[in-house]
Amino acid sequence: MSKSKTIMMWVSLSIASLAFAAAGAAKLAGVEAVHASFATMELPVWFGYFIGLCELAGAAGLWLRATSRYASVGLFIIMLGATYFHVIYETFPKAIPAMILAGLTVIIYVARRTQSNGNAQ
């Protein structure tokens, strides 16, 4: 992997893991504003806590080579849900952070896949 791709992966890892850890911690702490979106979609209360746990676990999993690809796929799926929520229930501009985080998970997935395949791309 080239030096620029390596730097891009580390920057993506840092930004994504901090964002997911913060979001997951807020959900697990029961921050009402964060859980409001789940209530709006008429999802059960426990689902917000489950997503928070997944985000926190995913933030940690991104850093481990053995779990990084799985964590990035799981977090990408969560960001698809977040994007859906913001587009349908709010406004498109509010979906942009979720779309950026989804993009970062794609960068991480591709970089880790390249590393595990042993390709020198």
Question: What whole-number distance in Å separates Cα of residue 92 and Cα of residue 3?
Answer: 35
- The confidence band for 1, taking pLDDT boundaries of 50, 70 and 90, is confident
Q: Tell me what pLDDT residue 2 has.
A: 85
Question: What whole-number distance in Å separates Cα of residue 105 and Cα of residue 1?
Answer: 17
For the stretch 61-84, pLDDT in tens is 999 999 999 999 999 999 999 999
Sign of the CA dihedral 94, 31, 67, 84?
A: negative
For the stretch 37-59, pLDDT in tens is 999 999 999 999 999 999 999 99
Taking the model in full, what pTM does it have?
Answer: 0.91
For the stretch 7-21, pLDDT in tens is 999 999 999 999 999
Residues in the chain: 121
Residue 31, C-beta contacts closer than 8 angstroms, at least 6 positions apart: none
Distances (CA, A) of 106 to 70, 74, 87, 102, 120: 11, 11, 20, 6, 19
For the stretch 83-118, pLDDT in tens is 999 999 999 999 999 999 999 999 999 999 888 776
